[in-house]
Structure 1
Amino acid sequence: MTKEQRENGTIGLIVTLMIGYTIAYMDKAMISTAIIPISAEYQLSSTEAGFIMSAFFLSYSLTQIPSGWLADKFGAKAVLLTALSLTTVFALLFGLVSNLLMFMLFRFFAGVGHGGYPPGCSRAIGEYIPKKQRTFIQSLMIATAGLGGILAFTLGANLIALNWRYAYLLLGTFFFMATVCVALFLPGKAKNATTQKTENNKPNIKYRTILLNKNVIRLFLAMILINFLLYGIVSWLPSYLKTTFSLSIGTIGLLLACNAVFQTLGSFLAGILMSRYFANKERRLIVCLCLATALFLIGFMYSSVLALSMILLLLLSLCSTTAFTAMFSWPHKLFDSSIIGSSIGLINTGSAIGGFIAPMTLGFLIQLASGSYVLSFCSMALAVVICGGIVLFIKKK
């Protein structure tokens, strides 16, 4: 194989993985808008709406660890194909049901599919991408959160305003297309020369050792807290904007699409900062971003002017997404590529637990405060500050 062919294959691999990530993030973001007409149609309380959103993250958290182990054992392609096939089926089924139990059940099974994608994707990066490029490529994957958000809050929101069921028919179609792309363009379990050399000489690391690694545990806890904020914002921001400023779903979608652009910028920014300006200074970067996020969130909470609120929201999204991407990319510097799938699976379990806790906890706090969002916003600000404190104890060995 010529150098040009290898480069073209690498580009195809990266684009394929980014397509899958984009549709996955579209799914995660779109439910927060779809829950508005679903709640109105079926007269759901904020707590019940939170249960629907949290059901997804319950299964998502449970499947991270086994998916990481399977990705390390059987390779990325098998795990990614299984994950995308499941998400295709249950995205389509979600648009067909009409009661609370089935909404929760199908979001739960959609989370099972989603749970295989991050560790499978990280394993693919570890298998096929040279070590020096992995941190930046991983940040590109996280940058698709913004792209998925743009799709969710433009195309998705417009379809939801027409009929929320149409949006999930489209989403299932997109997942099917992503599955076909992985089947066609992702290589099988073959390794590049760099990875093969590393794995031939690697020590026999037991899974229990990975599970008890202090850096894994600290990143696991930090990810719970940063995602409590991120998915709390994603889950309840559309409802907050509608309640506070009496906006239509179309207008909310437009504003959140602009917010998603800043999330994309944050992910790209994290890759640049981690690679060029904060190499070996990752802790300092993440802690500063966490503190800035908390300050912007408090300002957003007390703002009653839409223009100022949007400025604070954009800054909040920029800082929080940069912090998350930096933490999610950091394992490629901390751990060997032969165990990156298992490590990412464990760490991303923390992400999923944060996503599971946030919607229902914040929904309960909103209901407890008689519709006020003050308690929920303060809890998110506290979570991100504690996250920064935990990051201070992570050490590069």
Structure 2
Amino acid sequence: MLSSIKRRHIIIGMLFACWVVGFIDKTAINIAIIPISEEFGLSSDHQGMIISAFFLTYSMTQLIGGYLVDRFGSRRVLSSAVAIWSLGTMASGAVANAIGLAAARAATGAGEAVFPAGGSVAITEHFEKSQMARAKSVLQSGASVGFAVGSIVITALIAAHSWRMMFFVLGVVGLVLSAALYIIMKPISAPRVAMGAGQKISEKKRVGALLKNSLTWKITAVYFFTNIVFWGLQSWLPSYWVKVKGMSMVEMGAYSMIPPALGFVSFLTCGWLLDRFFHQKEKYLICIGSVVSAVFIYLMANAQSIPLAFAYLSISNVFLNAISISVFVSIMKHFPQNSVGTATGLINSLAQLGSFISPMLIGAVLSATGQNYGIAFSVLVGCAVIVCAIATTFPAIHGKKPVEQTA
């Protein structure tokens, strides 16, 4: 039993490390776009398109990734995914123009698209249902650590060397982690069979059952608008702090550690809350998170003091994280185990279109309003309110066991 527990901890720790680096890779462009736009002479619209290139393939590949994980298991698919996104990151530093950079970011997005579904499947393979929220919260917290560490690592590498060297270094680290993940996840016994004899269903029927479930579409809509809010902030705040607030790159990077540092704690706390108090009641945490985040994004946009603005941003980030973890836990707890990968891939595939749209949407708003960030932030506040409205329509299941779907 002890060895089983240790193995769980090692696996979740390794997945956590991969997702930390993955999120550094994912968000590096948000800071690097500042010197890149100067070198390539990019407008706000073109900057938004380059940032969105990642999310286009990230969205399109989600369902494929979910299917591959359900079909071949988490070990091979996850380690391959880390290798693919790392090669894409390295390629980002070798491009000669904006088109090449967009293509490299698209490759990075395709690799990272597999990880959410793969991580969920790995958790269902090694953890009891009553422990899944906490395990998923540990994995999700890697995003916050990636943001916090990444803001310093990225700005330091760019300042000391160049944006090209920054991408190369991150890519090499990812390739090392890919090999380590493959070794660590080597099965010690026969792999768990997701579907027993007589239970095997075709992928077509499995997706069909998910599409007929109204909860699938409600969760998708919630995460779609959450992604618009989250990535609208992440994509354009670095430019806002530097160009509007007059911060230096290094100063901005240091301040930018604060919101995700608190976000790390919020992920772990929310995982515990979901297992302890919000089991099958995730909708309430989503409603709370969306309302509070909307209020504090508004306050951030109107704050005159930079420290106060970052304080408001930190609070909004905490509650946006509450929505994110609630979405993935809802999938793991409300859908059958043999469809967790497919369900996560399907929902994330559609919801990540919000991530794809968001940088371009905010870029277009800024171009149309003469760089009026106040209006851009108001759009994000409105999207957060929509999240709350959708979450109120979730069915209340008050402590009942999840209903296993059949197809």
> Which TM-score applies when normalising by structure 1?
0.94
Q: Please, which runs of 5 or more residues in structure 2 have no aligned partner? A: 398-402
Q: Aligned partners of 1:310, 1:171: CA distance in 2, in Å?
A: 27
Letter in 2 for 1:167: M
Provide the C-alpha distance between the structure 2 equivalents of 1:83 and 1:357, rounded to a whole number of angstroms: 24
Correspondence for 2:75: 77
Map 1:91-110; keep pairs closer than 5 Å. 91-110=89-108
The CA deviation at 1:244 is 2.2
Shift of 1:307: 2.1
Residue 164, structure 1, aligned to residue 159, structure 2: no
Following superposition of structure 1 onto structure 2, how do residues 190-229 of structure 1 map, counting pairs within 5 Å? 199=196, 204=201, 206-229=206-229
1:330 is paired with a residue whose SS is helix
Report matched runs for 1:22-37 at 5 Å: 22-37=20-35
Deviation at 1:279, TM superposition (A): 2.5
* SS in structure 1 at match of 2:95: coil
C-alpha distance in 2 between matches for 1:316 and 1:348: 22
Aligned partners of 2:101, 2:188: CA distance in 1, in Å? 36
Deviation at 1:32, TM superposition (A): 0.7
Paired residues in the alignment total 393
The answer as to whether partners of 1:85 and 1:176 remain within 8 angstroms in 2 is yes
Match of 1:20 in 2: 18
Asked if 2 retains the 8 angstrom alpha-carbon contact of 1:74 and 1:189, the reply is no
Change (3 A) 1:363 1:214: same
Q: How does 1:371-390 map to 2 (within 5 A)?
A: 371-390=371-390
Could you tell me which residue of structure 2 aligns to residue 68 of structure 1?
A: 66
Secondary structure of 2:261 counterpart: helix
Within 5 Å, which residues of 2 pair with 1:326-345? 326-345=326-345
Q: 1:43 to 1:202 in 2, by over 3 A?
A: same
Partner residue in 1 for 2:135: 137
Ranges in structure 1 where 5+ consecutive residues have no aligned partner: none
Q: Name the SS for the 2:394 alignment partner.
A: coil
Q: In structure 2, how many angstroms separate the alpha carbons of the residues matched to 1:229 and 1:359?
A: 10
The separation in 2 between residues aligned to 1:246 and 1:197, in whole angstroms, is: 54
Output the CA distance in 2 between the equivalents of 1:190 and 1:335: 26
* Alpha-carbon offset, residue 288 of structure 1: 1.4
Q: Is 1:247 matched with 2:247?
A: yes
Greater CA deviation, 143-152 or 52-61? 143-152
Q: What's the CA shift for 1:161?
A: 2.1
The answer to whether the Cα contact below 8 Å between 1:139 and 1:326 also exists between their aligned partners in 2 is: no
Give 1:144 deviation, angstroms.
0.7
Please tell me whether the aligned partners of residues 226 and 384 of structure 2 are also in contact (alpha carbons under 8 angstroms). yes
TM-superposed CA distance for 1:137, in Å, is: 0.6
Deviation string for 1:180-225 (max 9, x for gaps)?
1211111349677xx6597568574632112332111111111110
Deviations along 1:5-55, one digit per CA (max 9) or x if unpaired, are 212211111111111111111112221111111111111111111111100
Task: Give me the whole-angstrom Cα distance separating, in 2, the residues matched to 1:21 and 1:45.
Answer: 31
The 1:191–1:117 alpha-carbon spacing in structure 2 relative to 1, beyond 3 Å, is: farther
Inter-partner Cα distance in structure 2 for 1:212 and 1:26: 36
| 1:83–1:203 Cα change, 3 Å | closer
Q: CA deviation at 1:139?
A: 1.2
1:254-269 matched pairs, under 5 angstroms: 254-269=254-269
2:213 and 2:329 mapped to 1: Cα distance? Answer: 17
* Letter aligned with residue 62 of structure 1: M
TM-superposition CA deviations, 1:343-384 (whole Å, max 9, x none): 111121134211101111111111111111122111111111
Structure 2 distance, partners of 1:357, 1:199, is: 40
Q: Is 1:126–1:338's contact at 8 Å kept on the other side of the alignment?
A: no
Q: Report the secondary structure of 2:349's partner residue.
A: helix
Q: Supply the distance in 2 between the matched residues of 1:70 and 1:246 (Cα, whole angstroms).
A: 46
Structure 2: which amino acid aligns with 1:100? A
Which residue of the partner structure matches residue 11 of structure 1? 9
For 1:343 and 1:191, locate their aligned partners in 2 and report how far apart those are by CA, in whole Å: 25
| Aligned Cα root-mean-square deviation (Å) | 1.8
Structure 1 equivalent of residue 183 of structure 2: 184
Q: Scaled by the length of structure 2, what TM-score is found?
A: 0.92
Match of 1:41 in 2: 39
Q: For 2:266, what is the secondary structure of its paired residue?
A: helix
Alignment partner of 1:370: what SS?
coil
Alignment of 1:309-348 (within 5 A): 309-348=309-348
Shift of 1:169: 1.3
State the alpha-carbon separation in 2 of the partners of residues 208 and 290 from structure 1.
30
Shift of 1:178: 1.6
Identity of aligned residues (%): 26
